[in-house]
Structure formats: structure tokens, C-alpha cells
Amino acid sequence: MKTIVVEPLTREAYAPFGQVIETEGAQHYPINGGMTERFHDLAKIELGGVNARPLISIARGKPYQLPLTLKLVERHPLGSQAFHPLSDRPFLSIVAPDEGGVPGTPRAFRAEPGQGINMALNCWHAVLTPLGAVSDFLIIDRGGDGNNLEEHYFDEPYLIVEKQ
């Protein structure tokens, strides 16, 4: 089994797959008479296909333990998908580049409290992977007509491990 080591989530490392949603280093300005700071335009929401519309949902995910066996990834050809934790717990974003219509070698990013992610349209990714405890996530993705899910099972699974 091939091993993938979890790496820190940074804007630069995650850029081929989408955006990191965080306030650190983000454009911001005051609103509401100076009582609120708006961190503006943190992710590119992509909506394609017939009757596309944005959805806002909340998901409650059960925690995973490392090491983790990765057998399946999926992608959404008609829309981006953003996840932002509603708790102060880490989670993993496991993504893979597209190589001729199939996923290449995955990468696993550890999102720390305060970080969310927005996976670009058609980005291969694993399922929601909270760590430590049951966690809620705000999701922004696409609704509308058409098939917006493609799944891929690896011939040989990957083992996701913490950095030693």
C-alpha cells in the first residue's frame, strides 16, 4: 500500500485544488459602523450546468482516526464545494490532481481550527474527514439539474499517516 503523509494546509500548497478559507492574510475592511470586520471574497464559488443555484448546508461528520485507508475519491463536475468547520477541531482535506480523467496521487492536508477549504469544480477529493470528535461544517456547493458526482475507486488503496 502506498503511503501519503499529511501536510499542513497553506494557500500556496492547496492552490492547484482550490482555496483555503481563513482570515489570516485575507483582504478585509470595516462594515456596520466599524463594529464588524468583513473578510472579503475568500473563495471562488463555481456553478455550472442547467438551473444551477448555490446551496448552503450543514453537515455533521463522525471523526476518522489516523492512519486512514483511502479507497475512494469523488469529484463534482458542475460546481465547487466549500467546507468550513463550525467547531475548533482539525479536519483533513484529501485531494488529488486530475490525470487524464482519473485521479493522480492524492495529497492530504490538515486544516487547523479557523481554516476551511473550497475545492474547485471537478477537483478529485475524499469524503469529509473530521478528526478527534463529531464536527459540524458549513457547506456551500451547487444544486440544480444534472449529475454532479463522479466516483473513483483506487486499484490499490493509499494509507494516510501523520508526519513522524
What's 64's domain CATH number?
A: 2.60.120.480
| Residue 157 structural domain | 2-161
Is pLDDT of 163 > 90?
Answer: no
pTM score, whole prediction = 0.94
Angle value at C-alpha 9, between 28 and 118, nearest 5 degrees: 60
Radius of gyration of the chain (CA): 16
Portion of the chain with pLDDT greater than 90, in percent:
98
- Arithmetic mean of pLDDT over the chain: 96
| Position 136 confidence tier, pLDDT thresholds 50, 70, 90 | very high
DSSP run (H or E) holding 122: none
Count of domains in the chain?
Answer: 1
SS3 162: coil
pLDDT the model gives residue 164:
75
Residue 108's CB is within 10 A of a number of other CB atoms, namely 23
SS3 of the chain: helix, strand, coil, percent, to 5 = 0, 55, 45
Portion of the chain with pLDDT greater than 70, in percent:
100
